[in-house]
Structure 1
């Protein structure tokens, strides 16, 4: 990918003669995901799909996290997606979530956060207030 970028911006008809263009890959900062979320018995199947499904909250968080350089690892964004899924109409979220990992981690402008692949997720179906 970097070669394609360099070819595009370094072409003689694109850049002035005295400019020197370089591109380097960002440093990767990895994070794990470890969490427990809670549902009601009535909404359990839907919430599990909305959280753990291929287009669910965890997948969306991982996509969001890697989209920009310098984006801090932010567990609050993961919580938001699990509790209040907003990418479709009438989606049901969890009633509570306890996130052990990731923790908030600053990421510099030359770094990008990327999911490590270590995922520990469980859910509990509860009645009453949690």
Structure 2
């Protein structure tokens, strides 16, 4: 009987621990949008999903050049965020015929190079606490 009680307590602690590990929040803030027109679209990725299908995707209005979103229930791990200013609100990033972007974009860690963002430049770690990031265009 004592063994059964001990196993039950261990199982409950394991379940509670795994549930709390899923409750991390990532807050991303674009701090320098060029206007309040349109919205900012954000995508949260892992290395395996990067630039394919985001784990979570969100949009946020812009007020005073700032846009804020929160990705909730994020397990511990390594992630990257990419975002862009959808100025004309058409739900896609617009490009010139030459392939140059017409709309501002950014990524976590603010490493910008010619070409699309790279996962290794944008990656960050979520551990046992919430994460807040500022992203610049």
TM-score when scaled to structure 2? 0.34
Relative contact order (C-alpha < 8 Å, sep 6+): which is higher? Answer: 1
Q: Which has the larger radius of gyration?
A: 1
Where is the strand percentage greater, Structure 1 or Structure 2? 2
TM-score when scaled to structure 1? 0.35
Where is the helix percentage greater, Structure 1 or Structure 2? 1
